């Protein structure tokens, strides 16, 4: 089949394309991406070498453009990774989050219905459930998002539910945990800290770093999404978690260890997310596991390989870190704590 993968030039979307090209030799992919600040052609250079991959630059809110791609490419399934994804950026300004994560999703759902696409997967996040001080979220847990980012993702999920109920649009939602691996834009905990430590720069630990996240390697996340696409039921939601729960402070110390850097590079800063910094995320993923998926990558090995990848791929991340937009964001958000010029 031909898949339309939206958000293909980002972190998880590009990993998903690699996964499909490797595991489904009969499939072709049309990758679509707006190439926002976090989408990079350098991330998909290897994919572009495949005759089974082609790339289109467009925004998912552009219903006419996406419809044209779907019709001319005889697309049978859409997997949507396109999103604004950074909590901290959503605290500064949420307009793009609402445009892409809510309106964009509703436009894609209209394309699915209008063009007779057989299945769509909406890639969502555990953050829509809000904090889990105890226990685990199931797919039936209430949506209690706490940041503008997670609220926009929850609104996208509700668009999916409504289109399934109202029109029978064949959409599946996946909710994955915190992902790590190669090609992650250097703004999330592991990728941001790795590139800063590699440059002997300080890393900002929010508060005491006691927030707990459920970490999943990006290829395990990609495999989970693929399992939901091929074996899941339209209208259903599937959590994709690992039960690998780690405190941010623990991750930070492991990164220092792996890179042989001193503790003095940790700068504890006042939590910019204030009350919205969820203390813990944790999911019950037995529903997806019952379809045959399970995580394969051991966390210690995955983290070691990921840090080695950033060490070896300065040519990928340094041009991003040198962009004025990137430096302005870091200085504006963390400036006083990290000693960066404002
Ligand atoms: N990174 C994580 O830990 C994580 C965890 C769970 C779920 N998710 C979800 O996975 C998806 C992908 O996340 P990611 O980490 O790969 O993000 P990313 O920022 O690396 O990639 C997002 C991609 O979407 C593109 N994009 C943004 N707006 C667009 C638009 N309007 N039209 C077309 N393309 C657009 C960007 O150019 C970029 O290539 C998101 O939906 C996110 O909510 C991420």
User: How much distance in Å is there from the Cα of 80 to the middle of ligand 1?
Assistant: 9
Alpha carbon of 241 to those of 132, 153, 207, 294: distances in Å?
A: 14, 17, 25, 9
Nearest CA to ligand 1 atom 18: 10
What is the structure's pLDDT at 154?
A: 98
Model pLDDT for residues 32-61, shown as the tens digit of each residue: 999 999 999 999 999 999 999 999 999 999
- Residues with Cβ within 8 Å of 199's Cβ and at least 6 positions away in sequence, in order, are 321
Nearest CA to ligand 1 atom 44: 125
Q: Which of 61, 84, 88, 127 is catalytic?
A: 127
Q: Which of 16, 149, 281, 334 is catalytic?
A: 149
Across the chain, mean pLDDT equals 95
What is the structure's pLDDT at 273?
A: 72
What CATH number belongs to 189-212+244-275+298-333?
A: 3.90.25.10
Using a 6 Å cutoff on CB, does residue 106 contact ligand 1? no
Q: Which of 88, 126, 220, 278 is catalytic?
A: 126
Residue in 81, 190, 248 to alter for ligand 1 test, most ligand atoms within 8 A of Cβ: 81
State mean pLDDT over 58-74. Answer: 98
What is the structure's pLDDT at 106?
A: 98
Domain boundaries along the sequence of the chain: 2-180+216-240, 189-212+244-275+298-333
State mean pLDDT over 309-314. Answer: 98
pLDDT at 276 over 90: no
Whether 118 contacts 170, CB under 8 Å: yes
pLDDT at 340 over 80: no
Backbone angles phi, psi at 242, to 5 degrees: -120, -15
User: How much distance in Å is there from the Cα of 171 to the middle of ligand 1?
Assistant: 18
Nearest CA to ligand 1 atom 21: 10
Q: Is 127 a catalytic residue?
A: yes
Q: Is 149 a catalytic residue?
A: yes
Rg for the chain, CA atoms, rounded = 19
d(CA 44, CA 49): 9
List residues bridging with 215 in a β-sheet.
Answer: 178
Using a 6 Å cutoff on CB, does residue 100 contact ligand 1? yes
pTM of the model: 0.97
User: How much distance in Å is there from the Cα of 264 to the middle of ligand 1?
Assistant: 33
State mean pLDDT over 108-117. Answer: 98
Residue 184 CA: nearest ligand 1 atom is: 20
Using a 6 Å cutoff on CB, does residue 7 contact ligand 1? yes
Q: Is 19 a catalytic residue?
A: no
d(CA 124, CA 177): 9
pLDDT at 277 over 90: no
What is the structure's pLDDT at 99?
A: 98
CB atoms inside a 10 Å sphere around CB 66: 27
Backbone angles phi, psi at 115, to 5 degrees: -100, 0
State mean pLDDT over 290-306. Answer: 98
Using a 6 Å cutoff on CB, does residue 35 contact ligand 1? yes
User: How much distance in Å is there from the Cα of 81 to the middle of ligand 1?
Assistant: 5
More confident residue, 150 or 88: 150
pLDDT band at 208 (very low <50, low <70, confident <90, very high): confident
Residue in 8, 9, 10, 226 to alter for ligand 1 test, most ligand atoms within 8 A of Cβ: 10
Residue in 9, 14, 19, 36 to alter for ligand 1 test, most ligand atoms within 8 A of Cβ: 36
Q: Domain 2-180+216-240 is of which CATH architecture?
A: 3-Layer(aba) Sandwich (3.40)
Burial class (CB in 10 A: 0-12, 13-18, 19+), 142: exposed
What is the structure's pLDDT at 341?
A: 55
What is the structure's pLDDT at 39?
A: 98
What is the structure's pLDDT at 342?
A: 44
Percentage of the chain beyond pLDDT 70 is 97
pLDDT at 270 over 90: no
pLDDT at 268 over 50: yes
pLDDT band at 158 (very low <50, low <70, confident <90, very high): very high
């Amino acid at each position: 089949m031909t898949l339309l993968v939206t958000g293909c030039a980002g972190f998880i979307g590009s990993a998903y394309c690699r996964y499909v090209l490797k595991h489904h030799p009969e499939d072709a992919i049309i990758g679509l991406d707006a190439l926002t600040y976090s989408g990079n052609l350098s991330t998909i250079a290897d994919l572009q070498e495949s005759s089974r991959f082609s790339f289109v630059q467009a925004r998912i809110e552009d219903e006419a453009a996406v419809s044209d791609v779907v019709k001319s490419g005889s697309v049978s399934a859409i997997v949507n990774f396109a999103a604004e994804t950074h909590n901290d950026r959503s605290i500064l300004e949420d307009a793009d989050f609402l445009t892409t994560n809510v309106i964009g999703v509703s436009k894609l759902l209209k394309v699915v219905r209008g063009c007779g696409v057989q299945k769509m997967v909406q890639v969502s996040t555990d953050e829509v459930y809000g904090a889990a001080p105890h226990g685990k979220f199931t797919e039936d847990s209430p949506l209690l998002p706490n940041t503008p980012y997670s609220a926009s993702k929850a609104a996208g999920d509700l668009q999916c539910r409504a289109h399934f109920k109202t029109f029978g649009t064949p959409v599946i939602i996946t909710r994955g945990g915190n992902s790590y691996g190669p090609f992650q834009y250097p703004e999330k905990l592991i990728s941001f800290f790795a590139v800063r430590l590699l440059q002997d720069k300080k890393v900002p630990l929010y508060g005491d770093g006691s927030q707990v996240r459920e970490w999943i390697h990006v290829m395990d996340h990609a495999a989970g999404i693929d399992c939901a696409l091929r074996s899941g039921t339209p209208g259903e939601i599937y959590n994709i978690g690992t039960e690998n729960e780690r405190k941010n402070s623990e991750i930070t110390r492991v990164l220092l260890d792996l890179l042989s850097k001193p503790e003095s590079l940790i700068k504890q800063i006042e939590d910019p997310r204030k009350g919205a910094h969820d203390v813990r995320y944790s999911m019950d993923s037995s529903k997806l596991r019952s379809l045959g998926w399970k995580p394969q990558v051991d966390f210690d090995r995955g983290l070691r390989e990921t840090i080695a990848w950033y060490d070896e791929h300065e040519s990928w991340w340094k041009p991003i870190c040198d962009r004025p937009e990137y430096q302005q964001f870091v200085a504006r958000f963390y400036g006083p704590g990290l000693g960066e010029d404002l």
